[in-house]
């Protein structure tokens, strides 16, 4: 997640096996020169900044957290390169804490489907959390991502391609944008 800004999940998944082989633990990553980390992730957008943040994060995990991933939003968001979305993914997937991580895909789909007005990812997260019970958030955010990848892509849906959009907007080619009263 730290590596996913400005690039696709597919590309991150291509480069991380070699990085994890070179640094399978926080101590091993902290011992890697920043230039070596960069070489492993150079194909990713913002690779220089990400390499610096990966190394700093590894050092902080060791010095502040005993080599373990912290289990609170506050501690996670204090780490270099970790924002609210990444912290939400970690809290949901690693610790089972109800969270609704909103990335660009969920943000776009929530707007397209009339679940949020799409003003910001923060607004979308708040809207989705108000619409669905907390016990569904962790699973639902993944379901929306996977559905969007398969059926309602950024460039591939004009309101007639995706079954959800066809159902919501049977007479329109483009979905209407929901506006909160």
Q: Indicate the DSSP class of residue 176.
A: P
Distance in angstroms (rounded) separating the CA atoms of residues 74 and 88: 11
Place of tokens 């690039």: 7
Does the annotation count 85 as an active-site position? yes
- The residue from 9, 103, 139, 158 that is catalytic is 103
Angle at the Cα of 108 (from 102 to 131), degrees rounded to 5?
60
Place of tokens 């949020």: 116
Backbone angles phi, psi at 41, to 5 degrees: -115, 10
In contact, 77 and 71? CB cutoff 8 Å: no
Question: For residue 38, what are its two tokens?
Answer: 């960069």
Query: 123: how many CB neighbours lie within 10 A of its CB?
Result: 17
Angle at the Cα of 94 (from 112 to 23), degrees rounded to 5?
110
- The residue from 9, 50, 85, 126 that is catalytic is 85
Does the annotation count 103 as an active-site position? yes
Residues annotated as catalytic (active site), given as ranges: 85, 103
């Amino acid at each position: 997640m730290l590596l996913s800004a400005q690039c696709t999940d597919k590309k991150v998944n291509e480069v991380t096996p070699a990085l994890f082989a070179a640094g399978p633990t926080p101590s091993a990553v902290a011992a890697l020169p920043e230039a070596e980390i960069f070489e492993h992730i150079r194909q990713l957008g913002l690779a220089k900044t990400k390499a610096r943040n990966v190394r700093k994060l590894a050092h902080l995990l060791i010095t502040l957290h005993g080599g373990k991933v912290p289990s609170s939003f506050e501690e996670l968001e204090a780490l270099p390169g970790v924002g609210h979305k990444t912290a939400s993914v970690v809290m949901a997937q690693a610790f089972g804490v109800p969270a609704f991580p909103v990335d660009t895909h969920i943000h776009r789909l929530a707007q397209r489907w009339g679940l949020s007005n799409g003003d910001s990812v923060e607004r979308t997260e708040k809207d989705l959390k108000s619409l669905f019970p907390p016990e569904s958030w962790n699973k639902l955010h993944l379901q929306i991502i996977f559905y969007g990848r398969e059926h309602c892509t950024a460039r591939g849906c004009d309101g007639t391609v995706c079954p959800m959009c066809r159902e919501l907007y049977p007479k329109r080619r483009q979905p209407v944008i929901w506006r909160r009263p």
